[in-house]
Structure 1
Amino acid sequence: MKFFSYYSFHIISYRFFTAPQIRKVASVSKTISDRYQEAILTLNALQTNQLKLKTTERRGKSMNDILRYLSYLNVQLDHIDQLNIIHVAGTKGKGSTCAFTESILRQYGYKTGFFSSPHLIEARERIRINGKLISKEKFVDYFWQCYNAICNAVQQSTEKEPLYMPFYFSFLTTMMFYVFVHEKIDVAIIEVGIGGELDCTNIIKTPIVCGIASLGLDHVKILGNTIEQIAWQKAGIFKKDVPAITVPQVPSAMDVLFERAKEKHCQLTIAPSLNHYSNYPFSLSLAGDIQEINASLAIQLVFHWLSARAGKSYNELLEAPLSKEILQGLATCRWSGRNELVTTNTATYYLDGAHTIESIEQCKNWFMNSISKQQTPTRNILLFYCSNDRDPEVLLQPLMTCKFDCVAFCSPVTSMTIDGNSHTDTKSSNDQWRAKVDMSGEIGRLSLHVAAFEKLWLSTLENQTNMPSIHCFHTVSQALAWIDDSKSLKPSVLVTGSLYLVGAVLKLLDGNDNDE
């Protein structure tokens, strides 16, 4: 109670404006076609929530439904097998691992397809061909081909054998397979959505190789609340006689992975660290210690793929210095929103979509190491948000040692306007997954963030004399306007806790809205 009498709530600035956005960060592009906007609005109408994903029955049914959707698109499992798939699950680092893998194989001259989730800014980020987002024109064409065919099948289904429209991720997974088959790619690198055993992507029967990135506690309401349960789910992507690779895990998780590998009759090995290779050290384009682990997994996935599809000897690849293609792929890989540095005229942004306790710890180390190299001390700001299924107190805990001067909590929405009693995004072209937000619920959510931070600060005695100022914002545009108005010279801003928040910040900082 002494805390509240001494540090009154006036230090917490709630910026919940109901007027239109106060700062025009990026102009609305004239190049986005009406068809693209219509496709995105239609896609967003397929959104679901995690409550519906909780049941094993519902998730298993989604997998069976995808096979039916694909059949109406004339895509069979044999077609999917011909994609020469690399399938990757994990809690943290699976996206970066896939990005490294894709970059390397592209350097070898293969036509690559890469499926990832979630997206940061645009839904079409999830489907990439040769390292590039599928164009808006192709996205629209493929979208309506899939949507219309599935709609027609749903309308013709019977009570005895009903078929329903897919949810958001199920639809994009279906569309991904359809696109990759029609684009005639040489290799598909497919990132699991949630878990593995019952994930929509797990209709794959004969991948070339499977990978499991670092494991941790995430999506516990769906996958289970122990590391062993989560490891069991992730290992669900293992297939008979298909090599599987993982990275060092906690012993209990590793035991489960090996048990599952034995159960599924596949050989599981652990990727050696990068210093195993004679030309180590070498350049990685992605910052942070965790990326060495991700790169080690990617290299092994590539070795097994080349062994199976290019006639190369795995043992020779393992013992030889890394090829120029691998080194170039590791050095030029781009994966936005993970340990990413963006400098503007008014601030330096450190962006990382960390949303588990382990990844937040890695993010903190990267941020602290980066600012320690600065010549002149600057004001440090935390811009943070975490979604409903995560505990802000748990994720904020590692960040308490950073000693921020200001802390800002912000909903991952770019900008807002008022339409009666509802708040909707001002840009119809904004295809963030969270297309519609209950702002009354968000106010309560941000209040929980504030309470969690205050509780943690109170429990840290050394911080009790200089508590940072706390601010809350409805939208990212408001938060960035506040940072721009900062009286200090170029503050260092750590943006973390949510990939959606990172994506919204990047969207406004970039202001780029190309059709390609």
Structure 2
Amino acid sequence: MNVPAAKPPSLGELVARLSALHPKTIDLGLERMHRLLERLGHPERRLPPVIHVAGTNGKGSTIAYLRAILEAAGLRVHVYTSPSLVRVNECYRLGRIGGGVLVDDAELRATLEHCEQANAGQPVTIFEIETAAAFCLFAQHPADVLLLEVGLGGRLDATNVIEAPLACVIAPVSMDHTEFLGDTLLAIAREKAAIIKPNVPVICAEQAPEAIAVIEQFAKRQRAPMVTAGQEWHVNVERGRLVYQDDRGLMDLAAPRLFGRHQFDNAGLAIATLRALNAFKIEPSAFEAGIVNAEWPARMQRLASGALVEMAPLGCEIWLDGGHNAEGGRVAAAALGDLEERVPRPLVVIVGMMANKDAGAFLANFAGLTRHIIAVQIPDRDNSMPPDRLADAARHLGMRVEPSASVAAALHSLTRLAYEAPPRILITGSLYLAGHVLAANGTPPN
């Protein structure tokens, strides 16, 4: 009698199984990572040249610009980012001529299972085993460069096993994950700056004075040449265009497609990185094409169609942003302020956050823009902040707030209200919430 072969686990089932190997979702340290990579034959030593990107806000957008520019120059670009929004595959982009592709289910499953077998049941966090899988994948596929995003912090992050990257990039540093990185900007900056390696160029965004002082100290100790926004390079908005300048000259480029003034700064950081390196020959046309074409979901993303959009008031605008800390709220609020100047509309903020976030500091950014907040729970997240706690934070700021069972219910409830103009709606507070919205709307990243 033939027994049917067992059906392989889905990626979701496999990730759930791997998540059970270590009780702590986040447990910073490099010992487990070094052990696993040794058992795998050190794939991290067989990678294409690495650009390592740390920071609190703007890492992903900066990587999106780097990828788009490098691909416009005809290069093959591997990319590792986290977290995913809808599918774990989003974390792994394999470089191809003409544009990268997300790893397919079969190859990702096989690679994760290979890492699971090498780990042999030892404690390992899900991020560590996913990062090891990234190194295995990228070591097997040729490419010209790997863009590697730090997961959390830097010093003890699983990605910080790369001994000699091509460049270290530090996006804006601000307060977040204080339970893991420290409760001062100084402490957090120390964690981020610890990705700096000996003699490797450091390209740094504009920072608060205490953060830049720490980063400069680390760079000096490692004898790493450093180029910093506002010092060695500058980016400005002139007549709606991006104007970048350094000691090599001036570039007058079209505005980024990604929305918000902060995206000019993120694009500038990407340009500064590539101009600081001699590894790639990039024509001005590739810089412009990359800046214009870069995409990064859930960062002031306009949802124009989809299942959730159809539930909202007719003619409204829906924006989705995964910002979840005070600085993330600030840049989203600034972008909404720009929209309000152009086309005034009543603003409603639908917000869901994780329990370890500072809801008051985040929501304070919107106090001058709206008094109408709808608090929701993030689905399927054990550590989601209860809506009543979110509501308390909003009321403390003088905002009118109401709880709702879901984003869909919140959008539907707005159809019963009378507005002088169709409202502008921002859904925000967490990348986990943003991923749920993209999946429910039927517009997942690709």
TM-score, normalised to structure 1, is 0.74
Within-5 A mapping of 1:454-465? 454-457=395-398
Q: Residue 18 of structure 2 aligns to a residue in which SS?
A: coil
Partner Cα distance (1:256, 1:49) in 2: 36
**In the alignment, is the contact (CA less than 8 A) between 2:58 and 2:172 conserved in 1?**
yes
Deviation at 1:487, TM superposition (A): 5.2
Map 1:38-49 → 2, pairs under 5 A: 38-47=10-19
Note if 1:506 corresponds to 2:438.
yes
Secondary structure (helix, strand or coil) at the match of 2:118 reads helix
Q: Distance in 2 between matches of 1:48 and 1:286?
A: 37
Alignment of 1:144-293 (within 5 A): 144-147=110-113, 149-155=114-120, 164=122, 166-271=124-229, 272-274=233-235, 275=243, 276=245, 278-293=250-265
Q: In the alignment, what sits opposite 1:324?
A: 285
User: What aligned pairs does 1:35-434 form with structure 2 within 5 A after superposition?
Assistant: 38-47=10-19, 52=24, 59-71=29-41, 75-80=42-47, 83-130=48-95, 132-135=100-103, 138-147=104-113, 149-155=114-120, 164=122, 166-271=124-229, 272-274=233-235, 275=243, 276=245, 278-305=250-277, 307=278, 309-310=279-280, 323-343=284-304, 344=309, 346=314, 347-374=316-343, 378-404=345-371, 406-413=372-379
**1:302 CA drift (Å):** 1.5
Deviation at 1:378, TM superposition (A): 3.9
Deviation at 1:214, TM superposition (A): 0.5
CA distance in 2, matches of 1:49, 1:493: 40
* Aligned match of 2:3: none
> Secondary structure of 1:335's match?
coil
C-alpha distance in 2 between matches for 1:486 and 1:66: 56
Structure 1 residues 278 and 76: CA distance shift in structure 2, 3 A: closer
Query: Relative to 1, partners in 2 of residues 1:78 and 1:68: Cα closer, same or farther, differing over 3 Å?
Result: closer
| Cα 1:164–1:480 shift into 2, 3 Å | farther
Residues 222, 486 of structure 1: alpha-carbon distance in 2 compared, 3 angstrom cutoff: same
RCO comparison, higher one (Cα < 8 Å, 6+):
1
After superposition, give the CA deviation of every residue in 1:365-420 in whole Å (9 maximum; x if it has no partner): 1012113322xx5442110122111121111111111124x32111222xxxxxxx
2:388 pairs with 1:447: yes
- One-letter identity of the residue aligned with 1:437: R
Q: Distance in 1 between matches of 2:22 and 2:389?
A: 20
Q: Which residue of 1 aligns with 2:381?
A: 437
2:439 aligned partner, one-letter code:
K
Give the direction of change, closer, same or farther, for the CA distance of 1:265–1:121 in structure 2 (3 Å limit).
same
Question: Which stretch of the first structure deviates more once superposed, 291-300 or 98-107?
Answer: 291-300
Q: Distance in 1 between matches of 2:52 and 2:7?
A: 32
Show CA shifts across 1:265-323 (max 9, x none): 31222141223253425221111111121111101222234x0x34x5xxxx8xxxx71
Q: What displacement does 1:227 show?
A: 0.9
Q: 1:26 — aligned with what?
A: none
Residue 8 of structure 1 corresponds to which residue in structure 2?
Answer: none
1:132-156 Cα offsets, whole Å, 9 max, x none, are 5515xx2332322331x3343344x
What is the distance in 2 between the residues matched to 1:50 and 1:485?
Answer: 47
One-letter amino acid of the counterpart of residue 407, structure 2? V
**Which protein has the larger Cα radius of gyration, Structure 1 or Structure 2?**
1
Displacement, 1:486? 5.2
SS at match of 2:172: coil
Change (3 A) 1:48 1:485: farther
Structure 1 residues 326 and 47, CA gap change in structure 2 (3 angstroms): same
- Match of 1:199, SS state, is coil
| RMSD of Structure 2 on Structure 1 (CA) | 2.7
- The superposition leaves residues 151-200 of structure 1 with CA deviations (integer Å, 9 ceiling, x where unpaired) of 43344xxxxxxx61532211211111111122212111011000111110
Contact 1:143 1:175 in 2 (8 A): no
Tell me the distance in 1 between the aligned counterparts of 2:184 and 2:25: 18
The one-character-per-residue Cα deviations of 1:236-267 (angstroms, maximum 9, x if unpaired) are: 11111111110121111111101111222312
Answer whether contact 2:367 2:397 (CA < 8 A) is retained.
yes
8 Å contact 1:151–1:165 — kept in the other structure? no
The CA deviation at 1:206 is 1.3
Deviations 1:29-57 (A, max 9, x none): xxxxx9797121220343379994776xx
8 Å contact kept, 1:63–1:202: no
- Aligned-residue identity in percent: 26
Give the gaps of 5 or more residues in structure 2: 1-5, 236-242
For these two proteins, the number of residue pairs brought into alignment is 415
Alignment of 1:476-495 (within 5 A): 476-483=407-414, 488=419, 490-495=422-427
Distance 1:35 1:332 in 2: 40
Equivalent-residue separation in structure 2 for 1:91 and 1:100 (angstroms): 17
The answer (yes or no) to whether the contact 1:352–1:496 under 8 Å persists in 2 is: yes
Residues 10-68 of structure 1 deviation map (CA, whole Å, 9 limit, x = unaligned): xxxxxxxxxxxxxxxxxxxxxxxx9797121220343379994776xx52323323423
Matched to 1:446, the amino acid is P
